[in-house]
Structure 1
Amino acid sequence: MSVENAGTPPYEPHDSEPGAVPEPDGGAPADPPVDPSAGGPAELSAGASSEASSGLPIDALDAPDPADAPDPADPVDTTGEGEAADPAEPGEHPLALRLEHLILGAPRRYTPFQAARTAGVSMDLASRFWRAMGFADIGQARALTEADVLALRRLAGLVEAGLLSESMAIQVARSTGQTTARLADWQTDSFLEGLTEPPEPGMTRAEVAYPLVELLLPELEEFLIYVWRRQVAAATSRVVQSDDEEAVDRRLAVGFADLVGFTRLTRRLEEEELGELVEAFETTAADQVAAYGGRLIKTLGDEVLFVADDPGTAAEIGMRLIETMTGDDTMPALRVGMAFGTVTTRMGDVFGTTVNLASRLTSIAPRDAVLVDGDFAEALGEAGDAPLSEADVDATEAEKYRFALQPMWRRPVRGLGVVEPWLLSRRD
């Protein structure tokens, strides 16, 4: 969740009462004004007036200072379970509030201003963190929990300890927010839409959702941590095995796989059928890319982007994608374009001329075929995976090659000049 515009004081005095502080939503008394000259909230910088600025280990920041706890006007227990009831906003569904409480594991206690003050960070930094994580502005509603305070303290503590720059901490928040937002949407669509059919007549999906989330949440949380650690281990292994100069700008094989005629399909198929087609395509592509040593960068509905460390691996993936899709009568035709060269990686994505070239080759590839650029073809030849000239291959040498390359007509490619694509195929 985010806060109001950075740099704007969260509470303004009433014109009729100089120095008075208006009450936040719900009528609870607001925090008393603080003299900015004394280092109050209006003047806090990242980590100021908090343990984060002391250089203490991050674990020492976990417990909020009791002196910074919300005022006694916090909501009282109305649940009968010894916990404070979350303050509902106008029009908010009671079950949605219960689900939020279940998932977050704590009641709403703080306004954004109170959370920033308790964490010991400025409103400006808190606002940028929350927005980077993808949460909407909430004004000064009392909607944040202890976990929000601890997250602020951890990020600010990493900056204060010199482990991350402030801009890098913002990137961490943004990349984590974007990735988990998509994951959360996918899981919610899959589980709550597919698994919450009422077991008894008269029950609503909403009534089934709560016990389902209660059962799934701890298991999915543990699985998420496991997969994340596995992915971090794989990513760091790739980095330490590469040259220092290749840590950011690396030579990779980049490939796009694109469904042919997808726009026409969107007009012909029902929404549910179209969704099933896209899911089947993405699942098949992801499985093939992973199985043969590539990395899926992103899916775009009718297109997937993947990379591999070497052209031989990418060539195998490209051919497997074509072979798998052509063997499925429910799938439209597929075309694949690949290029090899320097790639810039940022926040899990790839950029640069090599990526653009692979995309352009995909757009001109024949149906159920793979086109590669000259550098890709040359690298395959140097690795012994394919001959650059079939005329130089005699019958005794043919079996040692996995792939065949056929030069195509040189042609201009928008934004990249004239290129000579090569048609990649598997040797008989």
Structure 2
Amino acid sequence: MTVGDTTSGAGEEPGSDSSVHATPHHEVDHTVEPTDDPLAIRLEALILGADRRYTPFQAARTAGVSMDLASRFWRAMGFADIGQAKALTEADVLALRRLAGLVEAGLLSEPMAIQVARSTGQTTARLAEWQIDSFLEGLTEPPEPGMTRTEVTYPLVELLLPELQEFLVYVWRRQLAAATGRVVQAADDDEMVDRRLAVGFADLVGFTRLTRRLEEEELGELVESFETTAADLVAAHGGRLIKTLGDEVLFAADDAGTAAEIALRLIEAMSQDETMPALRVGIAFGTVTTRMGDVFGTTVNLASRLTSIAPKDAVLVDGAFAKELIRHGDAPESEAQAAEAVAAAAERGRVAEKEGREPDDEPPLPTYRFGLQPMWQRPVRGLGVVEPWLLARRGKTGS
């Protein structure tokens, strides 16, 4: 019997021969080794908010939820197999009751409730591991001789837990407000799912070789530094960090200019850090399917392929992205066009001077933030022939 067992309802105790179902990648292990340490028991109760008292069957029955639905919720949240151990608490019962209540009230469909459980479980699983790793970095040695890890951890958790819980809700509300704003601004329902976005991958060059050369701690510090820098730059310049993959980050932006600025800032930041390997970035612009905080589609695949062929410390973009930059006046169609704009501005200045007018009365010289250099067309596996463009930063004079 597992937390993922599916029986027809809450009215029958599950049998011992039930099938075992696969669990998601992030699993919450509810089983614990027996302990006589009262402080360890108190620590667990502090974190869970209550004592363990229910088997999965008992929790489902108490919540008034069928075992089938409860099992699907638990699998979606990433709960590991626990048999019929008394591993669940009043909080587990309340969570079941709330999710099932949303379905019964018609506020969420059953598939949507499963998605909510899955997205929340996956996100918080990584968050919890991330935070625990950070906390334990400062607990490698007990502060006083003879103190156990539990004795050190308990007061820390007791102080941090309520504050972090409130902080988590605060950040979630801010992110929910931002996501809701993007939905409200969408032109129609289709745009809520399929949107035109700039999508970029930033990839550390030679990361596989680094994994063989660096110690695990050094490698972890390098990845953390890269992810932190990338997250800060993406957020500061108006983009959204979709996910981090160790040696690679995926980001998105609503317009090409924002994505271009982020990409070049990433290259510049990494190149100034002697401890970091070279970086390469690929960006594509087009229709993207957004689902559960992730992005999918041909545009995403193209951005990934462009990253794989990009030179070190360089940004490659696709033709659609280049056209967006040109259309919004962020880049010239060609260097010849930029030179013509400079020459025309100089001529206007001479005419204004001859006529006794201030040159400032004339239209300003176009200011292009970026430059584009076409590269050789090349076949890209699964996407046909593409013409990448090399993106660079231009001076403020337009020349």
Q: Same fold (TM over 0.5)?
A: yes
Report if aligned partners of 1:252, 1:308 keep a CA contact under 8 Å in 2: yes
Change (3 A) 1:403 1:4: closer
C-alpha distance in 2 between matches for 1:243 and 1:10: 51
**How do 1:58-137 and structure 2 match up within 5 A?**
91-92=34-35, 94=37, 96-137=40-81
C-alpha distance in 1 between matches for 2:157 and 2:269: 36
TM-superposed CA distance for 1:90, in Å, is: 5.2
TM-superposed CA distance for 1:98, in Å, is: 2.8
Answering whether residue 81 of structure 2 is matched by residue 149 of structure 1, we say: no
Answering whether residue 13 of structure 2 is matched by residue 10 of structure 1, we say: yes
TM-score, normalised to structure 1, is 0.80
C-alpha distance in 2 between matches for 1:323 and 1:149: 51
Aligned residues: 354
C-alpha distance in 2 between matches for 1:273 and 1:205: 24
**Aligned mate of 2:380, from 398, 406, 413:** 413
**Aligned mate of 1:285, from 227, 230, 242:** 230
C-alpha distance in 1 between matches for 2:33 and 2:261: 56
Q: Deviations over 1:281-316 (max 9, x none)?
A: 000000000000000000000000000000010000
Change (3 A) 1:357 1:12: closer
Answering whether residue 148 of structure 2 is matched by residue 204 of structure 1, we say: yes
TM-superposed CA distance for 1:253, in Å, is: 0.3
C-alpha distance in 2 between matches for 1:93 and 1:251: 58
TM-superposed CA distance for 1:206, in Å, is: 2.8
C-alpha distance in 1 between matches for 2:180 and 2:42: 39
Q: Secondary structure at the match of 1:337?
A: strand
Q: Secondary structure at the match of 2:249?
A: strand
**Aligned mate of 2:168, from 207, 220, 224:** 224
Q: Which residue of 1 aligns with 2:390?
A: 423
C-alpha distance in 1 between matches for 2:325 and 2:365: 15
C-alpha distance in 2 between matches for 1:249 and 1:328: 37
Q: Secondary structure at the match of 2:180?
A: helix
Q: Secondary structure at the match of 1:400?
A: coil
C-alpha distance in 2 between matches for 1:275 and 1:213: 24
Q: Deviations over 1:343-397 (max 9, x none)?
A: 0011100000000000000000010000000000001000000012111222248
Report if aligned partners of 2:7, 2:14 keep a CA contact under 8 Å in 1: no
Q: Secondary structure at the match of 2:382?
A: coil
TM-superposed CA distance for 1:12, in Å, is: 4.6
Which residue identity lines up with residue 49 of structure 2 in the other structure? G
Report if aligned partners of 1:10, 1:140 keep a CA contact under 8 Å in 2: no
**Aligned mate of 2:133, from 182, 189, 195:** 189
C-alpha distance in 1 between matches for 2:240 and 2:89: 37
C-alpha distance in 1 between matches for 2:196 and 2:315: 20
Which residue identity lines up with residue 406 of structure 1 in the other structure? Q
Report if aligned partners of 1:196, 1:209 keep a CA contact under 8 Å in 2: no
Identity fraction in percent: 81
TM-score, normalised to structure 2, is 0.85
C-alpha distance in 1 between matches for 2:90 and 2:219: 42
Question: 4+ residue runs of structure 1 moved beyond 3 angstroms?
Answer: 8-13, 87-97, 396-399
**How do 1:245-264 and structure 2 match up within 5 A?**
245-264=190-209
Change (3 A) 1:114 1:341: same
Please, which moves more after superposition, 332-341 or 198-207?
A: 198-207
